[in-house]
Chains A and B, each alone.
Chain A
Amino acid sequence: MATENKTAELTEIEQFRKDHGLSIKEERPLTTLNLGPTHPATHGIFQNILQMDGEVIVDAVPTIGYIHRAFEKIAERRPFYQITPLTDRMNYCSSPINNMGYHMTVEKLLGITVPKRAQYIRVIMMELARISDHLICNSILGVDSGAFTGFLYVMQEREHIYDIYEEVCGARLTTNMGRIGGMERDLSPKALHLIDEFLKRFPKVWAEFEKMLTRNRIFIDRTVGVGAISAERALSYGFTGPNLRATGVDYDVRVMNPYSSYDDFEFEIPVGSKGDTYDRYLVRNEEVWQSLKIIEQAYKNLPEGSYHADAPHYYLPPKQKVYTSMEALIYHFKIVMGEIEAPVGEVYHSVEGGNGELGFYLISDGGRTPYRLHFRRPCFIYYQSYTELIKGGQLADAILTLSSLNVIAGELDA
Chain B
Amino acid sequence: MELTNENVLGKIISEFGEENIQDPYNPDGIMTITTNRETIHDLIKYLRDDKELQISFLTTMCGIHYPGQGDKEMCVMYQLHSLRHNYRIRLKVYRPASDPVLPTMTDLYATANWMEREAFDFYGFIFTGHPNLTRILNIEEMEYHPMLKQYPLEDQTREDKINTFFGR
Q: Which residues of A contact B (CB under 8 A)?
A: 64-65, 68, 70, 72-74, 76-77, 108, 233, 235-238, 249, 251, 256-257, 345-348, 350, 357, 359, 361, 363, 372, 374, 376, 380-385, 413-414
B110 adjacent to A384 (CB under 8 Å): yes
Complex CA gap A347/B138 in Å reads 27
Complex CA gap A20/B88 in Å reads 41
B28 adjacent to A347 (CB under 8 Å): yes
Residues on B with beta carbons closer than 8 Å to the beta carbon of A382: 111
- Tell me which of B30, B90, B153 contacts A76 (CB under 8 A): B153
- Min Cβ gap A167→B in Å is 33
A238 adjacent to B27 (CB under 8 Å): no
B46 is an interface residue with CB less than 8 A from chain A: no
Chain A to chain B contacts (Cβ below 8 Å), 29 pairs: A64-B136, A65-B137, A65-B139, A72-B122, A72-B147, A76-B153, A108-B28, A235-B57, A236-B109, A236-B110, A236-B111, A238-B57, A238-B59, A238-B109, A257-B86, A347-B28, A348-B30, A348-B88, A350-B59, A359-B59, A359-B60, A361-B60, A361-B77, A374-B77, A380-B114, A381-B60, A384-B111, A384-B114, A385-B110
B91 is an interface residue with CB less than 8 A from chain A: no
Q: A65-B139, A361-B79 are in contact. List 5 more A-B contacts (CB 8 A).
A: A65-B137, A65-B138, A76-B153, A238-B109, A381-B60
B residues 54-113 near A (Cβ < 8 Å) are 56-60, 62, 64-65, 77, 79, 83, 86, 88, 90, 109-111, 113
Complex CA gap A118/B119 in Å reads 37
Complex CA gap A64/B60 in Å reads 19
Residues on B with beta carbons closer than 8 Å to the beta carbon of A237: 110-111
B35 is an interface residue with CB less than 8 A from chain A: no
Q: Which residues of B contact A (CB under 8 A)?
A: 27-28, 30, 32, 56-60, 62, 64-65, 77, 79, 83, 86, 88, 90, 109-111, 113-115, 118, 122, 136-139, 146-147, 153
A68 adjacent to B86 (CB under 8 Å): no
Complex CA gap A350/B62 in Å reads 15
Complex CA gap A238/B81 in Å reads 11
- Tell me which of A65, A249, A348 contacts B28 (CB under 8 A): A348
Residues on A with beta carbons closer than 8 Å to the beta carbon of B137: 64-65, 68, 413-414
Complex CA gap A347/B79 in Å reads 12
Residues on B with beta carbons closer than 8 Å to the beta carbon of A233: 110
A361 adjacent to B153 (CB under 8 Å): no
When C-beta atoms are compared, the residue in chain A nearest to B121 turns out to be: A65
- Min Cβ gap B130→A in Å is 13
B56 adjacent to A235 (CB under 8 Å): yes
Residues on A with beta carbons closer than 8 Å to the beta carbon of B136: 64-65
Complex CA gap A255/B128 in Å reads 38
Complex CA gap A233/B77 in Å reads 23
Q: Which of A357, A384, A413 has the most CB of B within 10 A?
A: A384
Residues on A with beta carbons closer than 8 Å to the beta carbon of B60: 359, 361, 374, 376, 381
Complex CA gap A104/B122 in Å reads 26
A376 adjacent to B83 (CB under 8 Å): no
The 3 closest A-B pairs by CB, nearest first: A238-B111, A65-B137, A346-B27
Residues on A with beta carbons closer than 8 Å to the beta carbon of B27: 345-347
Residues on B with beta carbons closer than 8 Å to the beta carbon of A77: 153
- Min Cβ gap B163→A in Å is 14
Knowing A65-B137, A73-B147, A235-B57 are in contact, say whether A348-B114 is a contact too (CB < 8 A). Answer: no
B77 adjacent to A68 (CB under 8 Å): no
When C-beta atoms are compared, the residue in chain B nearest to A371 turns out to be: B64
Knowing A64-B136, A238-B59 are in contact, say whether A348-B90 is a contact too (CB < 8 A). Answer: yes
Complex CA gap A414/B109 in Å reads 23
Complex CA gap A68/B142 in Å reads 14
A381 adjacent to B115 (CB under 8 Å): yes
B32 adjacent to A384 (CB under 8 Å): no
Q: Which of B27, B64, B114, B118 has the most CB of A within 10 A?
A: B114
